Copies of this chain bind each other. A is one copy, B any other.
Amino acid sequence: MSFNSFGKLFRVTTWGESHGPAIGCVVDGCPPLIPLSEKDIQPWLDLRRPGQSSFTTMRQEADQVKILSGVFEGKTTGTPISLLIENTDQRSKDYSNIAQSYRPGHADITYDMKYGIRDYRGGGRSSARETAMRVAAGAIARLILGNKITIRGALVQIGDKPINPANWSWDTVKTNPFFCPDASIVPVWEEYLRNIRKEGSSIGAVIEVIAEGVPAGLGAPIYGKLDADIAHAMMGINAVKGVEIGEGFNAALLRGEENADPIYMKDGEITFGSNHAGGILGGISTGQPITVRFAVKPTSSISIPKPSINKACEAVEVITKGRHDPCVGIRAVPVGEAMMACVLADHLLRHRAQIGCK
């Protein structure tokens, strides 16, 4: 079973391979009468687009999105929205060397193990190129959420070099090629990554995404808990190996009285004295900011040789030539934001279905 849809009511189905003619998605369940054009989607895609700095892949893709259905006279009609991006810079020859052998640490081998066939060009379906459609769908999800809800992400760690949270500035995020919120570490990362690229290697990273303004009550316990659905969304992003909500693994170290966020009334509103919970209790949003972190492994496409096998099960050494991200975590920032937006939009509709509107 292939399963290329996510969401229950705001439902996104993606398709396409890295080096096929195009990639695309169908967004189903979008409420009607929302103003929508390509201009609402393209800026988010541009943030994720490759080839924008020397720290991401040099593949050149215009990533121009087209809306093929579901919008009439500038507004959504409630029918499925089909989005399409043509692949323009495939350069299949770059990948000819991996047609017959498997990159260690890559999905090359498992696609073959499962399906007995794989489109090896550029990673085929397993390529991070697919995440462009997540970003496109996320742009529509943001319109459903409205501008009271803000979803922002940042890169908070590369290798063993975390940011200093005390320096956090959302403005800074927009001014560097890393989505880094700490201006002081940007030059450190620049040099660090330059060396890693020079050595033909790659490095892991940690991303944090924060959603503010989310109303209390979203989440569908027991098996559609908001945190579980966020974990699913983030762990499903290429190369992600860990997900945390609120305190995350640090919660293991805490005692009950340290971890439990006290509750107060303030100006007639329910408020909390802290946010160890990361905005979710019992799988339901509290109204506090929802905070999630996820860890991205270093890409397996490196030019340092590693032992592997080929399709004939013979030993080979594999080197990945071509254009690759030394730190795929960088471009995962807009993808993480988009997945958060999609999960929240879905839960907003799910909540409205059961509870009604107030």
Contact = CB atoms under 8 A, between A and B. Distances in A.
Contact of A104 (B104, B109, B260): B260
A65 interface: no
Interface string A1-43: 1111110110101111100111110101111110000000000
A287 B28 CA distance: 25
A85 to B, nearest CB: 11
Interface residues of A, number: 157
Interface stretch (A49-57, A182-190, A226-234): A226-234
Interface stretch (A72-80, A145-153, A163-171, A172-180): A72-80
A271 to B, nearest CB: 10
Given A203-B254, A251-B295, A297-B254, A9 B354 contact: yes
20 contacts: A13-B26, A13-B28, A15-B69, A17-B69, A17-B70, A31-B354, A32-B354, A72-B117, A77-B119, A106-B282, A110-B219, A110-B283, A157-B252, A225-B235, A232-B235, A235-B245, A242-B244, A247-B297, A248-B295, A352-B352
A87 to B, nearest CB: 10
A159 interface: yes
Contacts of A88: none
A103 interface: yes
A228 B196 CA distance: 29
A302 interface: yes
A350 interface: yes
Contact of A9 (B114, B201, B307, B353): B353
B114 A219 contact: yes
Contacts of A250: 295
Given A1-B8, A21-B66, A251-B296, 9 more contacts: A2-B221, A5-B11, A78-B117, A105-B260, A109-B281, A227-B235, A232-B235, A241-B246, A242-B242
